[in-house]
Chains A and B, each alone.
Chain A
Amino acid sequence: LAKTTQPISMDSYEGQEVNITCSHNNIATNDYITWYQQFPSQGPRFIIQGYKTKVTNEVASLFIPADRKSSTLSLPRVSLSDTAVYYCLVGDRDDYKLSFGAGTTVTVRA
C-alpha cells in the first residue's frame, strides 16, 4: 500500500466547498485512490474511487492530476451533516488489507 499524507483537520461553514488533498508520492501504476467517510459513532463508508483525471458521484468529486502523486476530494456545498473524518487510501487489486491512517477531520459550522 502506498503511504498517504492528508491534513489532520479542516474547518468550514455551511454552503462552502471543502477540498481535501491527499499526497501519495509513491503511488504505483496499478494503484487506485479511494476515499472513505466516517461519521461519529459509525463505521467508515465508501465515498468515491478513481484512477486518473476526475470522478464525480452524487456525494463528491475526486480530482487526480496527471502525475497521480496527489488527489483532491471535493465536497460541494457542505452542510452540518458532512462533519466527519475522511480517509484517503491508495492501493491495487491485491491490497485487501486496508490502511486507514488518522484521516482528516472536517468540521462544518453553521
Chain B
Amino acid sequence: DAGITQSPRHKVTETGTPVTLRCHQTENHRYMYWYRQDPGHGLRLIHYSYGVKDTDKGEVSDGYSVSRSKTEDFLLTLESATSSQTSVYFCAISGSSGGLVTDTQYFGPGTRLTVL
C-alpha cells in the first residue's frame, strides 16, 4: 500500500470551531487531493494540489481551505465547522504526472469528522 496517513482518524467537534485535517505521504508524489464522501454522493473533490504551494479548488470547496508547504503534507482546514461538513474525508496522492491515464490515485484510510 502507498504510504499515506491521515490524522486524526476520528474527530468530533462543535459548530463554529476550526478544524484541521492532515494528510502525510512518504511516496514523494506530486499531486495530492482531498475528497469528502457522503451517503449517496460518492466521492467529491474538495481541493487538490499539483505541487508545493500550488493548490486549486475542486467541486465542493466552499468552507474549506488547504495548504501545502512541503511535498509530503497537505492540510485541509475548516475555518468554522458546520454540521453540513460532517463527512468522511479522504486524502489521495498520485504520481509525477497526476493524469488519469498515466497515474492512479492512492487513497488514505480516511478521517471521520462529526460536527455537532
Q: List chain B residues, Cβ under 8 A from A73.
A: none
| Pair B104/A102 contact, Cβ less than 8 Å | no
CB–CB B41/A34 < 8 A: no
Specify which of B40, B97, B105 lies most central, judged by the most chain A CB atoms within 10 Å of its CB: B105
Tell me which of A45, A89, A93, A103 contacts B99 (CB under 8 A): A93
Number of contact residues on B: which range applies?
Answer: 20 to 34
- Per DSSP, are chain A's interface residues mostly helix, strand or loop, or mixed? loop
CB-CB contacts below 8 Å: B81-112 with A: 90, 92, 94, 97-110
List B contacts of A49 (CB < 8 A). Answer: 101, 104
In the assembly, what is the distance between CA of A57 and CA of B90, in Å? 26
Q: Compute how far the CA of A85 lies from the CA of B92 in the bound complex, rounded to whole angstroms.
A: 17
CB < 8 Å neighbour of A46 from B59, B97, B101, B104: B104
Residues B99 and A42 in contact, CB atoms below 8 Å apart = no
B100 touches A93 (CB 8 A): yes
| Chain A minimum-CB-distance residue to B108 | A43
When the two chains form their complex, are residues A96 and B100 in contact, meaning their CB atoms are under 8 A apart? yes
Please pick, from B41, B42, B44, the residue contacting A87 in the complex, using a CB distance under 8 A: B42
By a CB distance below 8 angstroms, the chain A residues around B42 are 85, 87, 100-103
Distance of A22 from chain B, by nearest CB (Å): 13
B74 at the interface (CB under 8 A from A): no
Contact B109 A102 (CB under 8 A): no
The answer, yes or no, to whether A17 is at the interface (CB within 8 Å) is: no
Whole-angstrom distance from the CB of A40 to the nearest CB of chain B?
A: 11
Report Cα–Cα, A44/B1, bound state, in Å. Answer: 12
Closest partner residue, chain B, to A97 (CB atom): B45
| Contact between chains at A93 and B101 (CB < 8 Å) | yes
- Min CB distance B34 to A, Å, is 12
**Which 8 pairs show the lowest CB-CB distances between chains A and B?**
A43-B107, A96-B98, A46-B104, A91-B100, A93-B99, A100-B43, A95-B100, A102-B42
B residues within 8 Å of A by Cβ?
Answer: 31, 33, 35, 40-45, 48, 50, 58-59, 90, 92, 94, 97-110
Q: List 11 A-B contacts (CB under 8 A).
A: A34-B104, A92-B101, A94-B99, A96-B31, A96-B48, A96-B99, A97-B48, A97-B58, A98-B105, A99-B45, A103-B42
